Structure 1
């Protein structure tokens, strides 16, 4: 791997703390602190993403690279660091936060000039670890490694995963925060992104009154990550905010399309580039439920439930707008842009649903149709992904009870069957008004609705296998997630088994996932 080509422009541009001190503390007026990853002496490689490594310019993996994959035995000229940010967590201001278990190596540039940041997660404590050890367990590392690649192949903007490795040490965690900590195998992943900048980086500078540094960070971000912005002066900052709003709305629509629930949408977990970032207690949705949250820490309020994700994104953008106000200096503009967010989001959301159903475009009457569909899905407890897979296969002769009951998490009675039949009749009527052919309609559905999603119970089984020294399921899941619009393994295209309904780390998780 070409690790000697990893550069560090962020360190050269902004003020930081170069003390290499991992002790938890405040670091005012700086955007980063240098810190060395922990030394792991018995690492073992679990998975390596060869295609991604070649794509970003790191090249092929060799045995000598294993230590680098866990942050050990680094080149002498590499200054590793963690960034400081702030944020609102569960609706409350949390003050200074930062990369608590993430350490940046720097930036690699490939042959085409594309730049990618490289970051370890789980490689040790930083000044921002907040009394934690900065380590990660196998459980959370497998989950992030697989889901970030799954989301990428689904077509959802996301950070990506380069490698997954055992550290050779055990880490103690209380998985359900119920006073029963246990030792688990430690692991490190390397994740990549164009940038890991978050809403919280800008919130921190605003909160500290560092307006000059805030403007410098905005200029750096626009110059490096928003080439489409060609305006100057205050207009470029306005264009930047509009762009962030659009990217964020588009991301939320993609989450709704594939049934993804983030679980902890704090402002410090929001990418300024509109990427899915920080995979903790996430879940791909099984039965459709607007009120579903996979995060036990989010109960009972369900602030980050599936159906609220657009609303929470809007709320988070209000907080970002507040942080940018000293630079943009136009409250009317910010308020109007935020008002437009809701209009843009819902129109994009409904256009997305049209594709899922194979409609030629959004019509006025579709709003009522979608509302009826949501009610049906929740009442019949239908599997979000499998419902659309079955919908693609219906014919005039299909027995709807027999066809849809295998993808429901409840038993159909006569009343429910009647409601299903009424809905399908509405659906067929709407399809009849399409201006596109049946083949074109089906193609829309097949390219919008995945056949495979990375369900929590599959992840649970995979983690159990890896813990016992097996990797067969990891290999199969990797193959399946790389082709989510095909059914490579029919055994993965089934609803969650009832035996997993109340399994910790499967149906619901804590932030210690």
Structure 2
């Protein structure tokens, strides 16, 4: 790989702490601290994303590159560092946070001039590790490697995974925080993004009263990552905030489209570009439930439940608006932008649902239709993804009970069956109001509704196999996630087997996951 071409403009532009100490500490008035990676002596490559590596300008993998992919034996041009940020966690101000498990290599520019940041997750302790060891375990690393790539191929903005490697170390973790720590295999994910800047970077500077540095960061962000905003425009900071609002709304609509639940929508986990970032206790929703949260840390309040993600996105944007106020200095504008978020989200969400059902446009009656659909899905505990796959195959003579029973997590009694039949009648009536053909309607559905989603029980199986030295399922899942709108492996397009109910690290997850 062309690792000698990695540069570090962030270090040249912003103030930082160059003491190169991993000891946890406060670093006021600076945006980063240099640090050293752990330097693993016996890493083992598990997976390498050659297509991504070529795309971003790193090129093909060579035998010794595994050392770079875990942050070891780095060339002299790379000074590793971690950034400081702050944030609201579960609705509470958490103060200074920062990259506790992430260490930056820098950025690379491909032949088309596109910039990509590269960092390692799990490569060692940083000044922001907060009493933790900066390591990552195999299960969380597999989950991030596969899910970030799955989201990319679903067409959802996300960070991406370059590689997955074992470190050769064992790491102790208490997976459910219940007093039962165990040793697990250590691992590192090398991941990429246009930028890893978060809401929390701006909150950090605002909280410290560093308004000049806050404006400098805004200028840097606009100049480098927002090409549609004219840097000389006096309204550029307002344009920036409105763009972030729309990108956040668009991202959450995409999450709802495929049933993704992030699990930890703290402000420090919100990308300034509207990327899905920091894959922890996430899940692809199986039985439809607006209150579903995969994160045991989020119980019983369910702040980050599936159906609350748009509300939380808006709440997080309020906190970002508060942080940007010293530079934008227009309360009325910020309040209007935040109110408009709800309007924009609602319109975008309705358009998305229309595509899922094969409707060419949204009509007023669809509000009630969508409400009835949500009620049906929750009452019958129907699998979110499989429901739409079955809906595509509905015909006039379809036996509704036989057709939908395999995708429900509860038995279809007479009352529930009647509710389902009534809904299908409503749906077929609504289809007749379309101004497009049946074939065009089906094509709309097939390009919107995935056949394959990366379910937690599949990830659980994969992690178990890799732990035992078998990567066959990893390769199979990688094939499936690269073409999620095709049914490559029919055995993956089934509802969750009951044997995986209530298994730690599968149906129940924590922030350690």
> Within 1, Cα distance between the matches of 2:395 and 2:338?
44
Per the alignment, residue 385 of structure 2 pairs with 385
> Within 2, Cα distance between the matches of 1:231 and 1:377?
47
Does the CA contact (< 8 Å) of 2:222 and 2:231 recur in 1? no
Does the CA contact (< 8 Å) of 2:56 and 2:110 recur in 1? yes
> Within 2, Cα distance between the matches of 1:231 and 1:210?
21
Per the alignment, residue 491 of structure 2 pairs with 491
Does the CA contact (< 8 Å) of 1:234 and 1:327 recur in 2? no
Residue 232 of structure 1, CA deviation: 3.2
TM-score calculated relative to the size of structure 1:
1.00
Question: Is 2:405 the partner of 1:405?
Answer: yes
SS of equivalent residue, structure 1 residue 191: strand
Residue 233 of structure 1, CA deviation: 5.1
> Within 2, Cα distance between the matches of 1:360 and 1:228?
29
Residue by residue, what CA displacement relative to the aligned partner does 1:482-511 show, whole Å, maximum 9, x if unpaired?
000000000000000001011110012000
> Within 2, Cα distance between the matches of 1:256 and 1:77?
42
SS of equivalent residue, structure 2 residue 94: strand
Question: Is 2:256 the partner of 1:256?
Answer: yes
Residue 64 of structure 1, CA deviation: 1.1
Q: Which runs of 5+ in 2 are unaligned?
A: none
SS of equivalent residue, structure 1 residue 119: strand
Per the alignment, residue 299 of structure 1 pairs with 299
Residue by residue, what CA displacement relative to the aligned partner does 1:246-265 show, whole Å, maximum 9, x if unpaired?
00000000000000000000
Residue 393 of structure 1, CA deviation: 0.3
Residue 157 of structure 1, CA deviation: 0.2
Residue 77 of structure 1, CA deviation: 2.3
> Within 2, Cα distance between the matches of 1:379 and 1:501?
19
Per the alignment, residue 34 of structure 2 pairs with 34
Question: Is 2:58 the partner of 1:58?
Answer: yes
SS of equivalent residue, structure 1 residue 63: coil
Number of aligned residues: 513
Does the CA contact (< 8 Å) of 2:249 and 2:341 recur in 1? yes
SS of equivalent residue, structure 2 residue 60: coil
Per the alignment, residue 71 of structure 1 pairs with 71
Per the alignment, residue 172 of structure 2 pairs with 172
> Within 2, Cα distance between the matches of 1:454 and 1:391?
20
Does the CA contact (< 8 Å) of 1:108 and 1:117 recur in 2? yes
Does the CA contact (< 8 Å) of 2:223 and 2:231 recur in 1? no
Alpha-carbon spacing, 1:231–1:192, altered in 2? closer, same or farther (3 Å) = closer
Does the CA contact (< 8 Å) of 2:446 and 2:485 recur in 1? yes
> Within 1, Cα distance between the matches of 2:90 and 2:245?
20
Structure 1 residue ranges (4+ consecutive) displaced by more than 6 angstroms after TM superposition: none
Q: Which runs of 5+ in 1 are unaligned?
A: none
Does the CA contact (< 8 Å) of 1:105 and 1:120 recur in 2? yes
Residue by residue, what CA displacement relative to the aligned partner does 1:223-247 show, whole Å, maximum 9, x if unpaired?
0000100163540000000000000
Q: How does 1:193-208 map to 2 (within 5 A)?
A: 193-208=193-208
SS of equivalent residue, structure 1 residue 103: strand
Per the alignment, residue 330 of structure 1 pairs with 330
SS of equivalent residue, structure 1 residue 98: coil
> Within 2, Cα distance between the matches of 1:231 and 1:222?
7
Q: How does 1:242-253 map to 2 (within 5 A)?
A: 242-253=242-253
> Within 2, Cα distance between the matches of 1:327 and 1:366?
41
> Within 1, Cα distance between the matches of 2:139 and 2:192?
19
Does the CA contact (< 8 Å) of 1:253 and 1:348 recur in 2? yes
